[in-house]
Structure 1
Amino acid sequence: MSISRRKFLKRAGILGCSAAASPFLTPMSFAAMPSDNRLVVIILRGGMDGLDVVQPYGDPAMKGLRPTLKFGEAAGASDLGGFFSMHAGLADLMPLWAKGELAFAHAVSTPYRDKRSHFDGQDLLEAGLGMDALGHRRDGWLNRMLQVMPEADRHSGFAVGREEMLVLTGRAPVSNWSPDTHLNLSARLRRLLEQIYHDDPLFNAAVNEAIELAEVLDPKLGEDAVSGVDAVMMQQQMIASLRGGAHKRVASFAANRLREETRVAAFSIYGWDTHSNQKRALKDSLTRLADTISILKQELSDIWGQTAVLAMTEFGRTVRENGTRGTDHGTGGLMLLAGGAIAGGKVFGEWPGLSEGELYQGRDLRPVMDLRAVSAAVMRGLFGLERKLLEGAIFPGLDMAGAPEFTL
């Protein structure tokens, strides 16, 4: 018996907004460099809703924009100083906030605007470039950082994950590792899937629980049909991967490498495309993120004091909830910063407001800070890189003027 890809995806439960937002891959990258400080970059793929993660309950417009998505004390959120509250899914990180080892940068974005494609947004996020870079193969900003470090041991750096992460791709060599085998999708096939399924309500229901899938598919996904046996096997492997906690293995392995010669690590966490049932899906994803950071802190031990963790996403989500108790692709988003090297205990950024006249295009949180400026400022604090290098070789076209100090 054979079934169409569409029926196969429905039966198997692979329901993300697009292949870029779906949890098929567990890419991870590492690099060594001559410094005692560590930098961990986590790409949150799918477009995390920063307004739900760090909730501006003090903004009078918030309640009317999200009548069913509860926030603040009513949703078990932790207060962050009288205007913002932190989603209950990150509750385990509250001790880090109290110690000044956790912070957030709100209303941030890359230069990406208006198209709201996961793939393009993620490419621009990892390339660290402007809109003119879309559609052109580029290297990543972490790799460019390695290229300008005069004493970096480029041969001892390595990337973890069979899938290439653009953020660490470039002339500085890296090696690969993955806790599980995983799906390889060509860029052409991923974009085709996005175009076909973007408006499909079943596909968009988002399998936000199936994060860090092991390899449950093979090249047959690129064919017109797969067998019913393959579909059943896929479902079984999805469940096994979820129960296995792949994100924990990724975090533990990262910590192990960072205790040795590795100084820069990058990997991804999927499941942030919350078009529907956001209450449940976002909490599950945030719990995985909290687990990841907690494991890094625990296993890095005394090295945690020399570590900065940056968690970032390709774009935010609409300020208004949709008809399926979720949110759609937006603009202004949120970054999470953690680690003993972070000047934490605060929400960075001038709040742009949520009233009608303050929104971007009348629908999105208006960005007030370039996500690249946050990353560059952290890199300057950790590794002493000069501003001219950060604004030129690493993030061409970036203006860091007015960027706060995010590190101690």
Structure 2
Amino acid sequence: MNTSTITLPKARHLLLRMRFQLLGGLTFAILIPVLIRMSFGFGVIFSSNMQVTILAAFIAHTTGYLFYKRIGNFPGVAATGYILPTFALTYGLVFASIFFFRFDYSRFQAAASFIQSTLWYFGLHLATRRLAPYRLAIIPGGDVSRLESIPGVSWHWIRSPDRVIEYANGVVADLRADLSDEWERYIADRALSGTPVYHVKQISESLTGRVEIEHLSENTLGSLNPNQAYLKIKQAIDWVSALFVLVVFSPLLMFVAIAIKIDSPGPALFRQIRMGYRGLPYEVYKFRTMKRSAIIGDEKEAAITKAGDARITRLGQLLRKSRIDELPQAFNILRGEMSWIGPRPEALVLSKWYEAELPFYRYRHIVRPGITGWAQVNQGHVAAVDDVLEKLHYDFYYIKNFSPWLDVLIVFRTIRTMLTGFGAR
């Protein structure tokens, strides 16, 4: 087959290569501070505290870089915003471990390594943000027209099988469409040449952070089964951290409970039956943020919190915005009913309503419900069926990509949500 070539600016740049970024970061963040210390005395490199610090900084920097790159692969993530918290997390954990085991280390070397690690990757971001964007070539046919509405990608249509787009990051096609023999040969040729070929649904999920299930057979629910090993590890981490929160923050919990009693009549805790793990109902605990004597309509309407809801108390508005009202759910975590991170549990009446309206809604219960989750940090609070359908797509994305990397990203975004009040009602 005779083909002509459409040449685009080359996307791969030295500054974008993992090898350059990591080796450059290790040099800038570890080697240079060591050379500065050695300029005051060459023998410092042979001291045990310097050797311990170099090894610890190497582990913290490498782990931080891998976390930073992995988090940056998730949809809608401006990775530069996670440089500081990611490296603060890895350096903090590594050097806290050293301090706990009473190893001697150089505070100057540790601090210099952390500061220069963040400076290096911030500098890389400034240097690379104007480079060529992510480029994908689209093969016409089937359900591919919606792709152009997804931002952040340079889309290029291949109008004929005799055209090849060079330096594209991949080729996208609707592999379920009835493509001609020429297009099928074209796809095979691109795969053989080493160019990644993506199904339209696959690339759409990766760029939007949502998974849409249209037919039971296309997934057989198997591809959405969460990693069972991580499910158990996560439950253990949840239990230990929930116990820690309840013990350490018990004075705060007592203070909030007293403040609620003073602010408005009624109990300090709010209890509600919600749909939980594996479709089993359970009783959730939260700090009460609404007036107990509020006039309500039917049960379904009462379970929905609207924007500017008149039932919310003065103190309740603050508790909801800061998410402090969620802390008593640590008791639910200790009982194995919830997780810190997962699909947000709905009131039983709402869950039954959504199940009747939305196919596959029950499948979100395959993991433990969470205090925060992927849908919450992307979408906020919703109640209408159409909005809940979009929320369901976010929940399926979380289940399909169930991993510590995604959980770390959700933690970072939740902290931002607590500071901004995004999605609170």
Q: TM-score range by the shorter chain?
A: under 0.3
TM-score (norm 1): 0.22
* Greater percentage in helix: 2
TM-score (norm 2): 0.22
**Larger RCO (alpha carbons 8 Å, 6+ apart):** 1
Bigger CA radius of gyration? 2
